[in-house]
Amino acid sequence: MSIHNESALILADWAEEVHQSLVKTNAFCIAVFTLDGKLLFSNEAFQLLTKKDPAESFVNPSFKEICELSKEINPIFTGVLTLGDYYAINTSIEAKVYFKNQQLLITGGVDVSQLLEYNMLMHRLNRENTNMQRELIKKTRTIEKMIEDLKTTNDELEKVNLEYQNTNEELIQSNYSVTLLNGQLSLNNQRLEELNATKDKFFSIIAHDLRNPFNSLLGYSDLLKRNVANYKADEIADFANEMADAAKVAYQLVENLLEWSRIQRGMLTPEKEWISVTEILNEIKHLSSKQAQAKNIHLSIDADINLMVLADRHMTQTTLRNLVSNAIKFTNDNGTITIRVKKYPTEIRFSVIDNGMGIEKEHLDKLFRIDSKLNRSGTSGEAGTGLGLILCKEFIEIQEGAIWVVSSPGVGSEFHFTLPVPKNKS
């Protein structure tokens, strides 16, 4: 008797219990589809990973791509299957797809080895976090000891003041020094809080924002590796384009992190040059055209064609690109976005104006702060890195400019930033 038959006989007595477990489980997905995308059966785990239309929830590979696979072997597909929403959060599972009687059986769950690796990573991060907390406790105790010493010093000074009135001026000076020291201690505490917030932000970005593009890269590359012989050249080209787009998203996030880190360490300084405003605006419009066309958004420019600005080209272009990209994310289909540049006596003001979702007043002060992440999805479910506007603020302020936002829910948003006009240039 084979091991397979022996296992089948053992489980036969537990058929009802096994069936109930598969239907109610949140760990192992199972679903049955017709080839035209009709869902005949799904358990609770599969339902949690799918959207309104289950067949449309196949991100990579798509349901259509699975149906086009060869039916000569079973299972017809084995590998990473990504479910959810391409523009938002999705989940990848180790899956097998079987074909029988013009139906598809989808099964799969989390790879235990990957789960163990993830748990080991989380354990390591928790251990590092614990070490940092211990260091903070040590520093806090040191500060408390210093404060206690200062209190003792103040008490002694007061006694000396009562005993020796002629040393009053010296005591006043000593109290002033103590006040300065307390102020310095307060600044140190604030800096420690900022550093802790920065650490949490980096963890959040690395753990969440990098996962989505790499899910796409892993999914498409695994699909090509396992089934490249079944695809035509144009299909492989489409996969390559998708992988390239995902790689660009991951690369841009890493670039933002590195540039922000360099600014924090004082390693990045602006290299100013005279730039044609029209030239840089046309570059931004060209770079954003594909994203805008996907939502049929009209993107227009309103600026003097002869206007020049003294600025760092990379920092200014990156700022405008981030602001226009955000405007497109949060503007509905068929909306409008205007990039306006106007010269004033002492500054040149850049404005990105949209008629999109808008932002609630209580959230406006969170947009440019690294310790207060505002989690919002775009009108088509687009997700951001959470670092773009913070990087914009750093790039503008390091060029001695200012950046701010005016917005109302349901009306739209206006993001403005200024760059100074040199006194010796009209």
Q: 325 and 388 in contact (C-beta within 8 Å)?
A: yes
Q: 216 and 197 in contact (C-beta within 8 Å)?
A: no
Pairing of β 336-343 and β 90-100: unpaired
Calpha distance 374→376 (Å, rounded) = 6
Q: What predicted TM-score, i.e. pTM, was given to this entire model? A: 0.48
Calpha distance 336→300 (Å, rounded) = 8
Each as own residue / partner, the long-range contacts of residues 47-54 (CB below 8 Å, 24 or more positions apart, any chain) are 49/83, 49/84, 49/91, 49/93, 50/83, 50/84, 51/84, 51/85
Instruction: Report the pLDDT value the prediction gives residue 88, as an integer from 0 to 100.
Output: 65
Determine the residue type at 241: N
Calpha distance 412→332 (Å, rounded) = 10
Per-residue pLDDT of the chain (426 residues; tens, 9 = 90+): 565 566 667 666 676 766 766 777 777 899 999 999 999 999 988 988 888 889 998 989 999 999 999 888 999 999 999 988 766 667 888 999 999 999 999 999 875 455 445 556 666 766 777 788 888 788 888 888 888 887 888 888 788 767 877 767 777 887 888 888 888 888 888 877 766 766 566 556 555 556 667 776 788 787 778 877 788 888 888 778 877 866 766 666 676 666 666 666 666 788 999 999 999 999 999 988 988 998 999 999 999 989 999 999 999 999 999 999 989 999 999 999 999 999 999 999 999 999 998 988 888 888 887 766 666 666 766 655 567 888 899 999 999 999 999 999 989 999 999 999 987 654
**DSSP letter assigned to residue 154:** H
Instruction: Report the pLDDT value the prediction gives residue 306, as an integer from 0 to 100.
Output: 92
Calpha distance 89→49 (Å, rounded) = 10
Calpha distance 70→97 (Å, rounded) = 11
Kindly report the backbone phi and psi dihedral angles of residue 409, in degrees, each rounded to the nearest multiple of 5, phi listed first.
-60, 135
Calpha distance 93→215 (Å, rounded) = 10
Whether the bond between 61 and the residue before it is cis, its omega within 30 degrees of 0, is yes
- Find how far residue 414's CA is from the centre of its chain: 22
Calpha distance 253→249 (Å, rounded) = 6
Whether the bond between 75 and the residue before it is cis, its omega within 30 degrees of 0, is yes
Instruction: Report the pLDDT value the prediction gives residue 112, as an integer from 0 to 100.
Output: 46
Instruction: Report the pLDDT value the prediction gives residue 154, as an integer from 0 to 100.
Output: 80
Q: Which two tokens stand for residue 32?
A: 């049955």
Calpha distance 342→198 (Å, rounded) = 35
**DSSP letter assigned to residue 86:** T
**DSSP letter assigned to residue 357:** S
Instruction: Report the pLDDT value the prediction gives residue 188, as an integer from 0 to 100.
Output: 83
Kindly report the backbone phi and psi dihedral angles of residue 420, in degrees, each rounded to the nearest multiple of 5, phi listed first.
-70, 150
